Structure 1
Amino acid sequence: MATTGRFASTTYYMQQHPEWVEAFNAARPADRWFKAEWTPLLPEAAYARSLPDDPPWFGPRGGRLPMRMGGADAAAPGPAYYASLLRSPFADQLTLDFARAAIRAEHLGQDEVPDLLVVSLSGHDYVNHAFSAESRISHDHILQVDRLLQAFLRDLDATVGRGRYVAVLSADHGFMPAPEVRRARGLEAGRVDWRRALERVNGRLQQAFGAAPLVRLSPGASLNVDRRMLAEHGLDLDRVADAARAALLLEPGIAAAYTRRELQDRSRTGAPFFEPVLEGWHPQVSGDVPYVLEAGWMASAGVATHGSPHAYDTHVPLLLWGPPWVKPGRVDARVQVVDLAPTLAHWLGLPPPPASQGRVLPLP
């Protein structure tokens, strides 16, 4: 969708799209917002608790409302327009229209066999990465999505029937405030300059082992030890990883770091952030020294990010609504998004999915 405005799947699921998908794409529904303006829903005073438009850390692209889709210069919809559409409520409206088309074409909710429809409204992720979760743009986007969901649920009432479906709302992650925002509020925050940090870490390793550079930055918040350098200098992986971990912990903004051996042996159980790191680490594809940044620290020059075990990244909504037997109430105990699968299975009278990790929620 980011380059063509079309929805697509892969041959992993089917060799070709169903006819209704082809018909939906052929109508080019994404093009209807070309040159449209995203304007705020509410008066300016309603956004007083959010950051004003165009703070310095937005960079040269900036960001403010009203925002014209496709910019001023493009003559026709193209990749740049479709990419900009993702950072707007129009992408979420398009996704919900696609969901409506799926409900109609696949006759969802029209018999006694339960159907599962999963909809990812990803616009807010793009909005927050571009403009931050504290921005007026993000604030307005949530208001826009709220109204889009209201209309979608009303359509479900009309097509499936009120009381004949369960709706679940959650998210895969939160967002950390920009370091500049935290500092303005008197909180600790900063940005890690990885080029210089790696120079210092490799410098310490060179002093210890007489070889450099021994480590490099790896995706997934970790360092990788250079196996070729180990072989050339006859060095032991675990010794170098231990030293890299110690050197990394001397850097500002690093809260914790663990080695491959510690994770495989689970030898640091109970240490700060060890369990979250272990849950996100895989021995075949993950790095040798995964790390966790201090709260408020960002390992990039971006506007906003996520992926840490801190509460601002992991605390997400978990809302369930449906027929009268979904009684009103709240669960004050700690819950997880992975609890949804066994909970929904329980409601359907089914065993939990074999790979599910959660528990049945103690709902009222």
Structure 2
Amino acid sequence: MGKKVLILGVAAVQMDAINQLKKMGCETFTCAMAKDGPAADLSDHFNLINILDEEKLSTFVIDSKIDVVYSTGSDLAMPVACRLSERLGLPHFVSSYTANVCNHKNLMREKLTLECEGNIPFQVLNSIDKIAIQYPAILKPSDAQGQRGIFLVSSQAEFESHFQDALKYSREGKVIVEKYVEGPELSVNGYMVNGVMRFLIVSDRDTWPEYTGLIHKHIIPSKAVCDTNNHKIKRIVEDACNRIGILNGPVYFQMKVLNGHPYIIEMTPRLDGCHMWNLLARSTGVNLMKLVFEHLLYDDVSELKQLNSGVKSMELVFFCQKPETIMEQSAFSIPKDAEDSFFYYETGDYVRSVNGRFDKVGYFIRGL
């Protein structure tokens, strides 16, 4: 076997990482508090360790002679992976401080400062108070992931009625209220090398109209922005990365464009949790999952040279259903022209609550 890599978490997005590492000849390790995801069985070694138990993880990394600790698609795992890597002298892209800032929306907004072109007005609260942000506004937990506890509120009364529902998803007991930006939603996938944005693709983020913020499909390339906006987005994203301290590795942004100006909704120093690397590899020629591990393990960013001269029009579409229901694969139709597809659950499985409203149960990718 080659390098030993520990992936924190065992969900489908971590399975993508395990698949790539196996192609590279690495020995793969996973850990989680339960063996309840596809990455557990796919990895060479699964270990029953809570990904937040850093002492046990540290001992395991040392005893197993792990070369790299990493995760994909998980805000919860990234600060842990970075702290362990700093502590044990292992390769990593960003500091634990930076990972923690991106994991707390209030800290992220503060760190960006009002000088950042893409920042928006916000207010942080740990109890019900008068809202200073102009309505409509977005109410969400300050430190949750997976689109949990997000509400569009149009009045003080609506804010107060949803406050506890948002607060329960916050580990630190805080919510953030942000100015609502009316406009098309975008996903921005990028890659930084020594403070420079070397790869950036803007895609349309189509959400379910009845579920604020919950993703239905990604469409590449974006039809909602023009070349001028693309250049502005790149400038804003690169500037934001440097302000926060993301100088190397993957970045994922959710943005909105209002009157031609892009605004940052979310940003994180990792691959997204929507398998966008798969869509992007087919559309652009650059496999970001491969790039991440070649960069981490071998300081090799040559995968960036695979960028096609043109971007192929494609979409990634999610199958979703209510949580705490029973999965029935036959209820969803995979198009005949789909290039790839995957179900997170087998027929008869119980769909776990992730965002608590309308959870992903599978996806497909096809050309447009």
Q: Which category describes the TM-score, using the shorter chain as reference length?
A: under 0.3
Q: Which has the higher contact order (CA 8 A, sep 6+)?
A: 1
More strand by share: 2
Larger Cα-atom Rg: 1
Q: Would you tell me which structure has more helix in proportion to its own residues? A: 1
